[in-house]
Amino acid sequence: MSDAKTKTNDKELSSRDNRILELKKLLVYYKEITETIREPFIILDKDLCVVSANPAFYRKFKVLKKNTEGRKMYELGDRQWNAPELRDLLERILPRHRVLNNYEITLDFPTLGRKTMLLNARQVDSKELILLAMEDVTSQKLIDTTSSESTLNLVKQRDRLQALNDAKDEFIMLASHQLRTPATVVKQYVGMLAQNYAGEVTKDQMRMLDIAFASNERQLEIIEDLLRIARVDAGKVYLDKSSCDVVVQVESAIQMQAILFKSRGQSIVLNTPKKRVMASIDPKLMLMVLENLLDNAGKYSRHGARVTIDIKQGKHSTAVSIRDTGVGIRKNDLHRLFKKFSRIDNPLSNSVKGTGLGLYWAKKILDLHGGTIEASSELDVGSAFVVKIPIVAKELPQEAPVREPGNAGE
């Protein structure tokens, strides 16, 4: 053998020995790192034999070190690692990309059962070694699957309930429309009889007609309540907002209730701020809300009671407070006030007619305005309802004449 060839062989041997030495150093380095990793972690050589594994790997898969190191990855345990998807990862995908993140595989282990894992692999040292980290995500997958199924079931239930609710609203609206026409006709004919269109009626007949007329009016009120609720629940109530004087709105509501309050010997005290109070509202709908609250205050207060209304202008909203000295509401019943068809028992509830829809409707209208309504009460002391509505962006420059607190509707 020539000296040149000998020198070449010696150089190759020296290079290989150095490479082996470097590889051993790297293995020690990697092993020190993998020992601290909490998830299973193994190091494979380019032939897919296990060079090293960390304690977490042995604990997780219940295998011994002597039965692991030096063996092919596919031969470990009962050959549960010999799966087509793992072979595809290590033999085809990894050599092409060198790095793989969150590659999901599912394997069956005799002692552990079916497990889903996320694999993170990396080739290092000129593809001499493969670092393979494993994360068991079986429980998370189960939670995600269960959560997805639960969400899907909830969505289906919600859709079914929504469909039933829509059908109910449509039925109420249709039925109310159908009922309103004959009830209106009855009202017209009763009125004609009362006005002697079919001949003069006796006092007894007039008394009967008055009862029939009052009952018919009550029926029409109920029908209108049902129609209003059906429309607002169906999203068919739209606001026609404008800049309105809140005090004028409250005074209009008081005027509408004046006769009823006078018949019960009740009084209304209106306290207003000196400056003009403006708010962006639908005047027609807000007037109905105020009338409803004022009507309730009178109906659930005894003869001769007083109702106090305060109007206050805040930085962002206007507050209208309606306080009565009526029978009050139990604390346990306050949460039911704004629910549909909710009527609360009290000493006057049997004598006061109602559908349990007024406060529900009022809250819906205030919701559309971006406002709020709150209630507080004490038995035999009285109740207070506070309506807050947004103010307009710009108040009118002029000021209204100074209003002095006084009585209305006495």
pLDDT of residue 405: 40
Q: DSSP 3-state assignment of 232?
A: helix
Instruction: Round to whole Å and give the CA distance between 334 and 376.
Output: 8
Q: Which of 373, 272, 252, 358 is nearest to 313 (CA)?
A: 272
Q: pTM of this prediction?
A: 0.52
Q: Print the domain residue range for 73.
A: 3-136
CA dihedral of residues 73, 74, 80, 82 (deg, nearest 10): 140
Pick the last residue of a domain from 168, 201, 233: 233
Q: Are residues 255 and 360 both part of a single domain?
A: yes
**Does any domain span residue 336?**
yes
Q: Are residues 117 and 43 both part of a single domain?
A: yes
Q: Are residues 177 and 119 both part of a single domain?
A: no
CATH number at residue 265: 3.30.565.10
CATH number at residue 201: 1.10.287
**Does any domain span residue 145?**
no
Q: Are residues 131 and 275 both part of a single domain?
A: no
**Does any domain span residue 352?**
yes
Instruction: Round to whole Å and give the CA distance between 317 and 227.
Output: 30
The letter for the amino acid at 396 is L
Q: Which of 95, 85, 101 is nearest to 128 (CA)?
A: 95
Half-sphere exposure of 324 (CA within 13 A, CB side): 26
Q: Which residues of the chain have pLDDT under 50?
A: 393-410
**Does any domain span residue 344?**
yes
Q: Are residues 174 and 79 both part of a single domain?
A: no
Q: Are residues 183 and 122 both part of a single domain?
A: no
Q: Are residues 250 and 374 both part of a single domain?
A: yes
Q: Are residues 254 and 203 both part of a single domain?
A: no
Q: Are residues 125 and 162 both part of a single domain?
A: no
Instruction: Round to whole Å and give the CA distance between 229 and 165.
Output: 12
Please say whether the beta carbons of 309 and 269 come within 8 A: yes
Pick the last residue of a domain from 185, 204, 233: 233
Q: Are strands 129-136 and 267-271 parallel, antiparallel or unpaired?
A: unpaired
Q: Are residues 223 and 289 both part of a single domain?
A: no
pLDDT of residue 402: 40
Instruction: Round to whole Å and give the CA distance between 92 and 48.
Output: 13
Q: Are residues 124 and 171 both part of a single domain?
A: no
Q: 243: which strand partners? A: 280
Instruction: Round to whole Å and give the CA distance between 173 and 180.
Output: 10
